[in-house]
Amino acid sequence: MPTFVSLLNWTDQGVRGYKDTSQRAEAFTAAAQKLGVKVLNLYWTVGPYDIVAVVDAPDDETATAVLLQAAGLGNIRSTTLRAFGQEEMDRIIAKAAS
């Protein structure tokens, strides 16, 4: 399954509710599972992003749907990156070199 790295920032609403962040993370994980997305890791961070989520999703559309659901609650904004593992990168290089 493709891997995605989401860089998340709390909205004003999200930071006001910082005490609920663990419960929101559990709810996100449960909602993701219902759509076939596996949350590999969630990290609360210091710096330009508040949270980093690493997920495996069946496809781009499903990953986007999960993030839209989460963002629709009004607590976060996201920037999402498609991540490639070593085997995937090896296949990409092989295609590029042919």
Give the span between the Cα atoms of 97 and 26, in whole angstroms: 43
Q: Write out pLDDT tens, residues 48-80.
A: 999 999 999 999 999 999 999 999 999 999 999
Give the span between the Cα atoms of 29 and 42, in whole angstroms: 9
Q: How many CA atoms lie within 13 A of 83 on its CB side?
A: 15
pTM (2 d.p.): 0.92
Strand partners, 69: none
Contacts with 70 (C-beta within 8 Å, 6 or more apart), sequence order: 28, 31, 76, 78
Nearest to 59, CA basis, from 40, 35, 88? 35
CATH architecture assigned to 3-97: 2-Layer Sandwich (3.30)
Q: Write out pLDDT tens, residues 81-97.
A: 999 999 999 999 999 99
Give the pLDDT score at 98.
85
Domains in the chain: boundaries: 3-97
Q: Write out pLDDT tens, residues 33-49.
A: 999 999 999 999 999 99
